[in-house]
Structure 1
Amino acid sequence: MLNEIDLSRVDLNLLVLFKVVLEERHVGQAAERLSLSPSAVSHGLGRLRRLLNDPLFLRTPKGVVPTERAMDLAAPIADILTRTRSVIATAEPFDAATSTRRFTIGAPDGVSAVFLSPLLSALHVSAPGVDISVRQILPPRAVRTTDSVWEPVLPDIEARAMDIAVVPADNAVPARFVARALYEEDFVIAMRAGHPFSKNPTLDAYCQEQHLVVSLTGDAYGFVDDFLAEQGRTRRAALTVPNFMFALGVISETDLIAALPRSFLAMYSRYFGLVGVEPPLPLIRSRICAITSKAALMDAGVAWLFDLLERTARPSATG
């Protein structure tokens, strides 16, 4: 564990040098990219080797190869540099028109697929240099209710692993967070066009069909099964897949049926030849909310993106 004396020896430029040498696998090419002399790069590598107590890069006739220790350090060092750039960027005045920042939004793909198109259109007009990373998140367990199921994303927001989460959230978030409702979402039963169930969407027929369930963990039991159990009924979950986009392709080519978000299906059904019918049983309805922390909103860039999401993701904006 580094103490204050060790930290005082660390030059952030050495971490940048490490990253570039790792990418180039050649001291001369790394030097050219960094606008340094090869000897300056070699000197920096020497300091890094002493600091980290490892050779880090071994010379070969064609350049250098990283040691096992260097490969282990690659991801943590890249993360340090990314976070450092983020900290520095937040200290600068934010101008959407000229900004080249990258923001991270976490969401289930059934949600991000709905808000991304209008968001990207707005960015193209007002912030052409801003980039977005979307982080796929799904509940860590089978969804039976939206109550508290998304709480695990809150620590990631506080740690700035993501700037904003867009998730179903029907309960109030803790006081240190801010949530804004974007749109209401519910589920329909989706299937390929011409599927027999579309002509006879009864509960009896529903229980007789083979089902696809979206589950990150592969757990096929969810809120639908709770309701069926209360009625003394069951269904067969013939397949689980880890995300909603995967589900679209599978049900378009099989006789499987699936409960999918209504807004999501409305946007993509025509591309996959799918139809949706009203469910013959109660399914989850929830508010889709953008959530971030009050601390993050002190960053003018995050506050701007939060406002933009609220404007563009409303039903009137998504159609």
Structure 2
Amino acid sequence: MLNPAQLLRVDVGLLVVFSTVLEERHVARAAEKLNLTPSAVSHGLSRLRRLLHDPLFFKTSTGVKPTERAIALAGPIADLLSRVEGIMSAAGPFDARTARRSFKIGAPDAVAAVFLAPLISRLARDAPGIDIRLLQLMPQHQGKATSQVWQDTLAELDSHRLDLAILPIGALPSRYAERLLFEEDFVVAMRKGHPLARALSLTSYVKAQHLLVSAIGDPLGIVDIRLAEQGHSRRVALTVPNFMMALAQLAESDLIATLPRHLVEQHATRFHLVARPMPFRWTADSVRIVTSQAAMADAGIAWLFEVMTNCISPHSVTRLTAKRRTSL
């Protein structure tokens, strides 16, 4: 580990030079982008080569080619510069109309399909310089209690590697800022004209061929646990890794799937699907927007928290899906 005296030798500006040259693959173009002279960029690269003990770039007939070490450093340096940008942005006042900044938002893909369109529409209108980095979140079951499956995500919020998360989660400790967005339950989705669209009973449900969304191909999900509690089981004929693929497969087969209601309502018309109520009792999950209380001191994160709350409030979700409910 470097001591403070050694760290003083590391100029963040050198990392910006490195990142720009890597992006442009050309010293002169990088210099123009940075508003520097080519000699200043070359001098910066020379300093960085000495610090990192690697040539970093080789000259070619068309520009420069990165070394293997430079390629390996690209991700960590980009991440570091992003964090520096976030720190500097948080230090001053935040004006959404003029701000140029990116935020990392985590959500399961079924939840992201509900909020992404209204969020992007709002940003395009009110904050054109804001970029969103969306990360797909997966619950970490592995024998954990239901209340513990999102602990890894909460740790990401605590460490500020994630700015905001949208999660189906219950009550949280006071160190988190959270707000209820909507209640999510499930419906049984299938193509229009499916034989079960006319009448769906528990008996016909368990006899049908099911599609299950599973990132790892596991044919057992929470529905199977609930069915087993009642002495039933079903056949999962197909697993797919994401919900949008699931909707496409339902449209072209006789498979049925138990999916989040808001996801189906938003995309039913596009995929020519219908939905029917669950044939057994199901308790709705609370979907919340979550961040750390410490992160709320950042005016930009606090602003985005409010924007997303307004975009995905129960009233806005109702408005978003009301037009589609006639097909359900």
Shorter-chain TM-score tier: over 0.9
> After superposition, what is the alpha-carbon deviation per residue over 1:18-61, rounded to whole angstroms, capped at 9, x for unaligned?
11111122222222222222222221111111100111111222
Deviation at 1:191, TM superposition (A): 0.7
Distance 2:307 2:31 in 1: 41
Q: What residue is the counterpart of 2:300 in the other structure?
A: 301
TM-score normalized with structure 2 length: 0.91
Mapping 1:52-131, distance limit 5 Å: 52-131=52-131
Deviation at 1:90, TM superposition (A): 0.4
Question: Does the 8 A contact of 1:163 with 1:296 survive in 2?
Answer: yes
Question: Does the 8 A contact of 1:215 with 1:242 survive in 2?
Answer: yes
Deviation at 1:114, TM superposition (A): 1.3
Mapping 1:155-194, distance limit 5 Å: 155-170=155-170, 172-194=171-193
Q: Which amino acid aligns with 2:78?
A: A
Distance 1:37 1:202 in 2: 73
Q: What residue is the counterpart of 2:138 in the other structure?
A: 138
Distance 1:143 1:287 in 2: 22
Deviation at 1:263, TM superposition (A): 1.2
Deviation at 1:184, TM superposition (A): 0.7
> After superposition, what is the alpha-carbon deviation per residue over 1:127-172, rounded to whole angstroms, capped at 9, x for unaligned?
33333222211223489985332222101112222211011012x2
Does residue 1:257 correspond to 2:256, yes or no? yes
Q: Determine helix, strand or coil for the equivalent of 1:43.
A: helix
Q: Structure 1, unaligned stretches of length 5 or more?
A: none
> After superposition, what is the alpha-carbon deviation per residue over 1:189-235, rounded to whole angstroms, capped at 9, x for unaligned?
10111111222311121111111111222222122212322333221
Do the aligned partners of residues 96 and 195 (structure 1) sit closer, same or farther apart at CA in structure 2, a change above 3 Å counting?
A: same
Deviation at 1:91, TM superposition (A): 0.6
Do the aligned partners of residues 225 and 167 (structure 1) sit closer, same or farther apart at CA in structure 2, a change above 3 Å counting?
A: same
Q: What residue is the counterpart of 2:151 in the other structure?
A: 151
Q: What residue is the counterpart of 1:19 in the other structure?
A: 19
Does residue 1:312 correspond to 2:315, yes or no? no
Deviation at 1:5, TM superposition (A): 2.3
Q: What residue is the counterpart of 2:230 in the other structure?
A: 231
Deviation at 1:120, TM superposition (A): 3.0
Q: Which amino acid aligns with 2:138?
A: L
Distance 2:218 2:141 in 1: 7
Distance 1:144 1:204 in 2: 31
More divergent stretch after superposition (282-291 vs 77-86) = 282-291
Distance 1:120 1:99 in 2: 15
Distance 1:310 1:27 in 2: 44
Q: Structure 2, unaligned stretches of length 5 or more?
A: 320-328
More divergent stretch after superposition (120-129 vs 233-242) = 120-129
Distance 1:312 1:64 in 2: 45
Q: Which amino acid aligns with 1:309?
A: M
More divergent stretch after superposition (236-245 vs 292-301) = 236-245
> After superposition, what is the alpha-carbon deviation per residue over 1:82-135, rounded to whole angstroms, capped at 9, x for unaligned?
111111000110122322222222111211221223333333443333332222
Do the aligned partners of residues 256 and 141 (structure 1) sit closer, same or farther apart at CA in structure 2, a change above 3 Å counting?
A: farther
Distance 1:144 1:250 in 2: 31
Distance 1:290 1:143 in 2: 25
Question: Does the 8 A contact of 1:146 with 1:168 survive in 2?
Answer: no
Does residue 1:273 correspond to 2:269, yes or no? no
Q: What residue is the counterpart of 1:38 in the other structure?
A: 38
Deviation at 1:300, TM superposition (A): 1.2
Percent identity, aligned pairs only? 51
Query: How many pairs are equivalent?
Result: 318
Distance 1:214 1:26 in 2: 44
Q: What residue is the counterpart of 2:241 in the other structure?
A: 242
Q: What residue is the counterpart of 2:5 in the other structure?
A: 5
Do the aligned partners of residues 25 and 125 (structure 1) sit closer, same or farther apart at CA in structure 2, a change above 3 Å counting?
A: closer
More divergent stretch after superposition (248-257 vs 73-82) = 248-257
Distance 2:144 2:182 in 1: 20
> After superposition, what is the alpha-carbon deviation per residue over 1:274-307, rounded to whole angstroms, capped at 9, x for unaligned?
0110111233511110000000001111112112
Question: Does the 8 A contact of 1:141 with 1:219 survive in 2?
Answer: no
